[in-house]
Chain A
Amino acid sequence: MSAAVKGSLFCLETGIAMEFPTEIIGEKGYIKINADLDSEQSGEALRKAFNQVYDQGKRTIVLDLSGVQIINSYGIGKVLMCYKRLKADNGTLMVKPLGGFVKETFELLMLDKILPVEQ
């Protein structure tokens, strides 16, 4: 398999790559998630955006969930992968804002106990 195909493995299934914009403000990195976290596509976009911010040396990363209506176990798994990677580096993963259906899901799974909300 060529490098080009490897790099786009997850794009092959859906045809279009998704991207989440990132921003550095001071010591924090922000990832704006503008899609539901319930698919390979959005999971891959989160992984890439996280790596982008992480590789710039940021160890406090904030996931902006304002554009997320639904998060399933797959999306939660991807969020927790980010959490574990930061934790291994004494970093912090935060979320903002937490509301609606996403908030209910976080509380159901007790993720609100480990992921602080940035005010």
Chain B
Amino acid sequence: MAKPSILLADDDRGTLELYGAFFEKAGWSYELVPDGQSALEAARQRDFDVILTDLYMPGVDGFHVLRELKSAKPQQPVIVVTVAGSVEEVIRTLRDGATDILVKPVDFNQLKEAVARLLPNLKTNDAPEKLIYRYVQSTHSLFEIPSGVLAQHKFQLGVVDRLTRAGLVDRNMQLRLQLALQEAITNAIEHGALELPSSWKDEFDNEGVDKFSRMRAERLKDPKYADRKIRIHVSFEHYRLRISVRDPGPGFLLKDHAPEEQLTGDPQSYGRGLAIIAGTMDEVRYQHRGAELIMVKYLI
């Protein structure tokens, strides 16, 4: 079996020592952390083949770790380790994206088998996909998502993840493309669907909360705004990645872009989304009076 890299999160010191001894003996690369927050930080800074997390930890628990990891890295294998619990608990972890569940006390042979089941997928089973994706001629996806739903989740571009695995996009560009899409979606939701003017970001109440944030939270609970749909079309054809984001409202406003001269004076605390998008994409243009933003990136 290939040597995997493992991240383990558990608040029990004895458990960490026991697992550490096992990983050491097995010759695996590993990192041990005592809580959920440390696990998320480690996963953010380094790549691991498999992440194991205890479910019940003080502060950031395993449920939160699992959701955050699957949101940021949908393909990340996560094995949840827990004491024998309820069926509802099992269902919840599987729905949240757990790859496998192990029950304490863990039989290390079971752990080895669980990791071994994942390793072929990591090392060899995606090889055909890598090869095939280099020859893909075109692929199209169309989504229409209520703004209330879209605002609660990070919309990940599956095609970008596949292009990264195929070696057509490096990790840095993967982050840039995902960020550009998030900026476009955020603008479509906030200015298009929720009709929030950026100037509200500089209006504060007595508690120091800006009006923009407060009204955003309120309107996301109002079906009049939250049910408005955002249309996202993603196509990849002949190494040209095209993403369009269309909203039902006024759309992406050019005046939200902060001109350079503003940075020499008192910078606005908003209006950087377009610059982030323009800094990544090769082409950025608008249609339908600004309600649709089209972004193009050439990958060769």
In the complex, identify which listed stretch (A22-30, A57-65, A80-88) lies at the interface while the others stay far away: A80-88
Bound CA span A15–B68, Å: 12
**Are the C-beta atoms of A105 and B276 separated by less than 8 Å?**
yes
Contacts of A43 in B (CB 8 A): 213
Q: List 8 A-B pairs, Cβ < 8 Å.
A: A15-B64, A16-B60, A67-B44, A73-B276, A80-B269, A84-B269, A101-B172, A101-B176
Bound CA span A73–B272, Å: 5
Q: Which of B45, B64, B210, B214 contacts A16 (CB 8 A)?
A: B64
Provided the pairs A72-B182, A114-B263 are in contact, do residues A34 and B269 lie with their beta carbons within 8 angstroms? Answer: no
Place the interface of chain A in its size category. 35 or more
Asked if B273 is at the interface of the complex by the 8 Å CB criterion, the answer is yes
Contacts of B260 in A (CB 8 A): 110
Provided the pairs A9-B217, A16-B64 are in contact, do residues A47 and B276 lie with their beta carbons within 8 angstroms? Answer: no
Bound CA span A35–B37, Å: 9
Contacts of A78 in B (CB 8 A): 269
Closest-CB distance, A51 to chain B (whole angstroms): 7
Closest-CB distance, B85 to chain A (whole angstroms): 19
Closest-CB distance, A8 to chain B (whole angstroms): 11
Bound CA span A72–B276, Å: 8
Provided the pairs A34-B37, A67-B44, A74-B186 are in contact, do residues A108 and B267 lie with their beta carbons within 8 angstroms? Answer: no
**Are the C-beta atoms of A6 and B175 separated by less than 8 Å?**
no
Asked if B197 is at the interface of the complex by the 8 Å CB criterion, the answer is no
Bound CA span A14–B260, Å: 35
Bound CA span A101–B180, Å: 13
**CB within 8 Å of A: which B3-61 residues:** 37, 40-41, 44-45, 60
Contacts of B207 in A (CB 8 A): 6
**Are the C-beta atoms of A109 and B182 separated by less than 8 Å?**
no
Contacts of A91 in B (CB 8 A): none
Asked if B275 is at the interface of the complex by the 8 Å CB criterion, the answer is yes
Provided the pairs A6-B207, A84-B266 are in contact, do residues A38 and B276 lie with their beta carbons within 8 angstroms? Answer: no
Which of A6, A9, A69, A72 counts the most chain B CB atoms within 10 A? A72
Question: C-beta contact mask, B266-295 vs A, less than 8 Å → 1, else 0?
Answer: 111111110110010000000000000000
Bound CA span A51–B60, Å: 23
Asked if B128 is at the interface of the complex by the 8 Å CB criterion, the answer is no
